[in-house]
Structure 1
């Protein structure tokens, strides 16, 4: 990964450890050659830098989808809440301005396309086959399930479905991403090809229902 983009990713606001970010970059370099990369859960753009750097190398593009009002775990009163992201006019989170600044500063505006809206609404309009799908939106049961059911069918055969924050041990983190990850494996549609920390890379091995 280019040094200046790795520096930008390391210093961007977000929760992606460097080892997992580099694994994400490597997967996107490989699978981005097949088709567009889609990220569900933009937040402030940290992981989008890793994906955008890979898209540039692979000759691909990243579409990143988020309503930018924050998932459950970053709302006021929760452990990951960042008060600097509050929009006091509406009393809501708004990570979009920070994201835009992050991607502009990294020089990745040509590679990273933002869609502002709820994942399930955008998924209902989506028809383009994906080389890689990265699910990292809301981490409770309902949003992870919606993201998987709405977007995983668009992953092309040979493409990748990537989950973040997969924790087999409940002591390490929430279980919803882990349960949906297991569902993907049990479907027989995907096989696991890489594990790095809480990141799981699954390759689509057959078409059909998920």
Structure 2
């Protein structure tokens, strides 16, 4: 998508951070943010410990943009105790709850991206209700069950500017490979006619909002 490479120090920082994004998908996320970030701000739904925010922030630095990353940092359903992706080191014993915020802050500080990556700590649907700024790129990677991914799409997709990008993570057409809620919402976005698919990489799906002015 672009000839600009992810800086080696930021690639290493992203690979060291806790998270679930393979390097090839992270590189595609960087490429997409580089292409669209010059049009305006980038927003990520689902921060976790900051791995994908490093890829986005690296691109934002290159093009003079900024990344807002939204998460309540108490963990989505699939990373709670008893689930396959649970990481016990993220438990806060004081409250008996997950808390990924300290890990995020450490990852972003270590990467030197505190100017480019801005954390918004709160529920996605609450923040979306008051959000007014058009987005050049929206990356949806929050909760992966039906209700949260639907709320993320309904609340945030309307803010993607014409010609801007909408990116989904963990899209699996085959139910044996992953949950189907993100796949259904991705299909809904395509069926709306508001978005067209630009490219794919692994489980990433990169869409662009149709610009009526472009004819």
- Please report the TM-score for the alignment, with normalisation by the length of structure 2: 0.96
Query: Is 2:168 the counterpart of 1:160?
Result: no
Runs of 4+ in 1 over 2 A off after TM superposition: none
Partner of 1:169: 174
Partner of 1:199: 204
CA distance in 2, matches of 1:198, 1:11: 21
SS of 1:148 mapped into structure 2: helix
Q: CA deviation at 1:116?
A: 0.2
Unaligned runs of 5+ in 1: none
Query: Is 2:94 the counterpart of 1:83?
Result: no
Query: Is 2:94 the counterpart of 1:125?
Result: no
Partner of 1:111: 116
Give the paired residue count.
Answer: 207
Q: CA deviation at 1:58?
A: 1.2
Query: Is 2:75 the counterpart of 1:101?
Result: no
CA distance in 1, matches of 2:16, 2:35: 25
Unaligned runs of 5+ in 2: 1-5
- Please report the TM-score for the alignment, with normalisation by the length of structure 1: 0.98
Partner of 1:8: 13
Partner of 1:70: 75
SS of 1:38 mapped into structure 2: strand
CA distance in 2, matches of 1:9, 1:92: 25
CA contact (8 A) 1:195 1:201 kept: yes
Deviations 1:107-144 (A, max 9, x none): 00000000000000000010000000000000000000
Deviations 1:24-43 (A, max 9, x none): 00000001011100000000
2:23 corresponds to which of 18, 26, 33: 18
SS of 2:38 mapped into structure 1: coil
Query: Is 2:39 the counterpart of 1:42?
Result: no
Q: CA deviation at 1:206?
A: 3.8
